[in-house]
Structure 1
Amino acid sequence: MAGALPVFYTYPLAFNPAKAKIALDECNIKYVEKKIDILSGQSLEPWFLKLNPGAWAPTLVVGENVICESAEIVKWADAQGTPLGGDKVDRQFIDQWVQKVDNWDGNLFAAAFGPAGGVLKITTEHKIKICEAQAKRNPDLAELYQKKAAAMKAQIEEPNDKAKCEANKAQLISLLDEAESRLATTSYLAGEEYSIADVIFTPCLYRIPQVKLDKELIESRNNVQKYWASLKKRPSYKKAFGVSESPLSTASTVIPAFGKILLSKITKKY
């Protein structure tokens, strides 16, 4: 890759950025990493909204191109050289699996079944107020801010929809069952070599112990349990989840964000 390095906007505690980060590191892509604080609402600043109208992480800037979807970043990284797994993996399965896994909402899963639900509600309500304030300050971006605020209002209600939450869990169980079946005959999901099928599934597996459902969902599947143990030994795993696995690092990431949220609540300035 000639010219400036790609710029990767990410947040170390978030679900979707982990997919992209693992892919970039596994594919040996050199990049500049920049943290965008999605908890406190930094991603809603006008400069970032112009970059990514969805105002989320991950976002990858490659020259004049901006890639805003985690699955697309994964596929972009894999296409920069010899794809992970080479000719020893099932490419057709990979394409189908990446799409299938990307359709699963790991954020809803965390909010519905884990302790993060309350935190996400507080931060999302804060960001809705930021959107409303920014829409007034930036009339040229008002439509984007209004659209984002509406999406977040709907997001707050999702964990209260029991049917939707159970469907989300059933979707994950279906993925786990398929993985268990495939791993009975191969070392990795698409064959005997590691591929982006494994990349994109890793954060899904990581979500499970976060909500303390690993005994039910992982340990009950012998092949998945062994596979998960092998994934955790990869250097890319440590790079993606190092912050969230360290209480001190997590605190140093979250506390400043909540300080900003509290200050905004006191001053009424968003």
Structure 2
Amino acid sequence: MNPTAKLPVFQNGSHVIFDTIEIIQYIERIAVVSVNNDSIAFSSDEVIQWMHKIQEWNPKFFTLSHVPEKYRQAVSKFFRRVLIARMAESPDLAISYQCKLKEAYHTEEKLRDPEVVRRSKEHLIRLLDEIEDSLSKTYIAGEEFSMADVMFIPVLARLALLNLEDEYINSRPNMAKYWSLVQQRPSYKKVIGRYFGGWRKYRTLAKTWCFIRLRNTLKKY
């Protein structure tokens, strides 16, 4: 798997997938066939519908609009250079990386339009409100943790990282309870909490910023 920010790339032999939901469903098929365990099942139609709703919200405009402009430009520049480096490393994926490079330039241009940022915020609010209603149950699609939750948790983690918990999470009772619950899951603690839990997020951000500056200086991406 070759991850880049905003561009999931899954390669299994000659099989290459770029869409997050398609990647998840492909891995599910492999797991069901290879493990042959009744505890493993395909995502239900309801879960897949939620996954699509969550994926429809593109976080890039909302996120970048909350990053100070001087840092935003540095991060965007670094991201473009990473894409260029990946194009050189993986010629067979060069066309896809080139599309993402054009998209990166397009994003920077559109970010200057307040209307774009407003629409992104409104889309997020609609998504949060809809999920708030669904969380009368334990998780998004019912009483069982599902791939819909896996896709949604990073949205909440992003809001927490931007110090927007009170405005977007804690203001919704079901969402606040859900957020507290999922943060106790071992997988969350291992994948996200260990880097962004409490004071750790400042350490992670500082290390990331130093990493970007060092890589830019050495011109290694």
Normalised by the shorter chain, which TM-score bucket? 0.7 to 0.9
1:210: how far off?
Answer: 1.9
Which residue of the partner structure matches residue 65 of structure 1? 15
Deviation for aligned residue 1:199: 1.0
Alpha-carbon distance in structure 2 between the residues aligned to 1:9 and 1:102: 19
The alignment status of 1:93 with 2:43, answered yes or no, reads: no
- TM superposition shift of 1:218: 0.9
Measure, in 1, the Cα distance between the counterparts of 2:46 and 2:188. Answer: 23
How far is the alpha carbon of 1:94 from its aligned partner?
1.4
TM-score by length of 1: 0.64
SS at match of 2:11: strand
Q: Matches of 1:196 and 1:133 in 2, distance apart?
A: 31
> Separation in 2 of the partners of 1:243 and 1:167?
30
Bigger mean CA offset, 76-85 vs 117-126: 76-85
Contact 1:84 1:194 in 2 (8 A): no
Separation of aligned partners in 1, 2:114 and 2:207: 33
**Are 1:183 and 1:189, in contact at CA under 8 Å, matched by a contact in 2?**
yes
Structure with higher RCO (Cα < 8 A, 6+ apart): 1
- Whether the 8 Å contact between 2:139 and 2:178 is mirrored in structure 1 is yes
Is 1:85–1:194's contact at 8 Å kept on the other side of the alignment?
A: no
1:198 CA displacement: 0.9
Q: Are residues 1:251 and 2:206 paired?
A: yes
3-state DSSP of counterpart to 1:194: coil
Counterpart code for 2:153: T
Q: Tell me the residue number matched to 2:2.
A: 9
Deviations 1:145-204 (CA, angstroms, capped at 9, x unpaired): 6544422211112322211111111111111111111112x1111111111111111111
Question: Identity of aligned pairs, percent?
Answer: 30
Q: In structure 2, do the counterparts of structure 1 residues 170 and 153 end up closer, same or farther at CA, with 3 Å as the change threshold?
A: same
For 1:219, the aligned partner's letter is: N
Q: Which has the higher helix share?
A: 2
Amino acid in structure 2 at the alignment position of 1:108: F
TM-score with structure 2 setting the length: 0.77
Kept in 1: contact 2:110–2:116 (CA 8 A):
yes
Decide which of 111, 120, 127 is 1:159's aligned counterpart.
111
Q: Report how many residues are paired.
A: 211
- The structure 1 residue matched to 2:55, chosen from 102, 105, 108, is 102
SS for the counterpart of 1:125 is helix
Aligned to 1:180: 132
Q: Report the aligned-residue RMSD.
A: 3.6
Pairwise CA distance, 1:229: 0.7
- Paired letter, 1:72: E
Residue pair 2:161, 2:196 contacting (<8 A) in 1 also: no
Task: Answer yes or no: is 1:190 the counterpart of 2:141.
Answer: yes
CA–CA distance in structure 1, aligned partners of residues 86 and 153 of structure 2? 36
Structure 1 CA distance for aligned equivalents of residues 24 and 78 of structure 2: 30
Which blocks of at least 5 consecutive residues in structure 2 are unaligned? none
CA contact (8 A) 1:93 1:190 kept: yes
* Contact 2:28 2:41 survives alignment (8 Å): no
In terms of mean alpha carbon deviation, does 94-103 or 126-135 score higher? 126-135
Look up the match of 1:33: none
Q: 1:188 corresponds to which letter in structure 2?
A: Y
- Candidates 121, 132, 137, aligned match of 2:73: 121
Whole-angstrom CA distance in 1 between matches of 2:184 and 2:107: 34
Q: Deviations over 1:82-112 (max 9, x none)?
A: 698969x9x2321211111111112222111
Check the 8 A contact 1:59/1:66 in 2, yes or no: yes
SS state of the match for residue 115, structure 1? Answer: coil
What SS does the corresponding residue of 1:219 show, helix, strand or coil?
A: coil
